[in-house]
Structure 1
C-alpha cells in the first residue's frame, strides 16, 4: 500500500472512532443507562461474574468508567499510529495525548447539550487515564525495543 494511502487510512480510522464516541455521547441518558445494564447482564451471563454483590448503581458506574477509559485508550493508540511526522517517540506520544484529551474535553462539552447527560470533568480525567495508560504501554514497548537492539 502506498505511503499516502496508508496515512489517509490511519487518519480515517481516527475519525471513524471519534464519530463512534460522538454517537455514543449523543445517546440520551436513559438509552445510555440501558447500554450499561446490558453490559452488566452480558458480564453475568458470559463471564460468570456475579455482579449482584455490587449494588446495581456501583456496577453501572464501574462499567461506564471502564468504557470511558477503554474508548480513550483506543483513540490514543489510533492517533499515535496516525501521527508519523515525528520520529521521536516522546513527541508522538505527547501529540497523541494532546489530541486525545482535547477530544475528550470537546466530547464532554457536547454531552452538556444532550438530554439526560451531563458535562463532567471527572469523565475527562478518566478518559485521560485511559490515554495515559496507552502512553505508558508505548513507552514501555519503546524501552524494551531499545534494550533488545
Structure 2
C-alpha cells in the first residue's frame, strides 16, 4: 500500500513538472516582442562575456550570437519538455516506443500551440521553422533519455548478476 502511494506521488510530481515547464514556455512566449528581445539580448551579452574570457581573440557578430542563443533556447526548451514528458509517461505505465511516440507527439503539439499563441502576442510571430526546431529538440531529448535509461538498466542488470555470483 505504501509503495503504491509513493508511486502515485512520483507520477503526479512527474506530470506536475511537465505542466510547470509548459507554463514557463507559455509565459516566455507571452512576452511582447520587445521584452523577449531584451531577454535574448541579456543572455547574448552573458554568452559574449564568457566567450571573451575563454577565447579573447575570438571575433564574432552579436546578431549571429543572438540568433544562436534564440534558436538554441528553442532546442533546449523542447528537449527538456520531451524528457520530462517521456519520464511522466513512463511513470504512468507507458513503455517502449509507444511511450516515446506519445512524448514526441505531445511535445510537437505543444510546440505548434506555442507558435499559434505567439501570433496573438504583440511583436511576435509564429514560425513553422521554430516548430521544426522544437521538434528536433524533442527528438534529441527522447533519444538522450532512451540512451541513458538503457545504460542505467544495463548497469543495474550487471550489478544484480554480480551479486548472484
The normalised TM-score by structure 2 is: 0.81
Cα deviation, residue 89, structure 1: 2.1
Unaligned runs of 5+ in 1: none
Q: Quick check: 100-109 or 37-46, which moved more?
A: 37-46
How far off its partner does 1:53 sit? 2.8
The CA distance in 1 between the partners of 2:24 and 2:152, in whole Å, is 33
Instruction: Quote the residue 2:72 is aligned against.
Output: 66
Aligned match of 1:2 in 1, 6, 14?
6
Does 2:50 correspond to 1:39?
A: no
Q: How many residues align?
A: 149
The aligned counterpart of 1:99 is: 106
Q: Which residue of 2 aligns with 1:57?
A: 63
The Cα of 1:145 is off from its aligned counterpart by 5.0
Question: How far, CA to CA, are the matches of 1:72 and 1:26 in structure 2?
Answer: 17
Q: In the alignment, what sits opposite 1:88?
A: 95
Tell me the alpha carbon deviations over residues 81-100 of structure 1, each in whole angstroms, 9 at most, x when there is no partner: 11134453211111100000
Residue 140 of structure 1 and its aligned partner are, at CA, apart by 2.4
* Pairwise CA distance, 1:137: 1.4
In structure 2, the partner of 1:132 is 139
| Distance across 2 between alignment mates of 1:55 and 1:45 | 13
Cα gap change, 1:5 to 1:88, in 2 (>3 Å): closer
CA distance in 2, matches of 1:130, 1:78: 13
Deviation at 1:143, TM superposition (A): 4.5
Q: 1:80-125, CA deviations, whole angstroms, 9 ceiling, x for partnerless residues? A: 1111344532111111000001000000000000000001000001
Larger Rg: 2
The corresponding residue for 2:20 is: 16
Q: CA deviation at 1:6?
A: 1.6
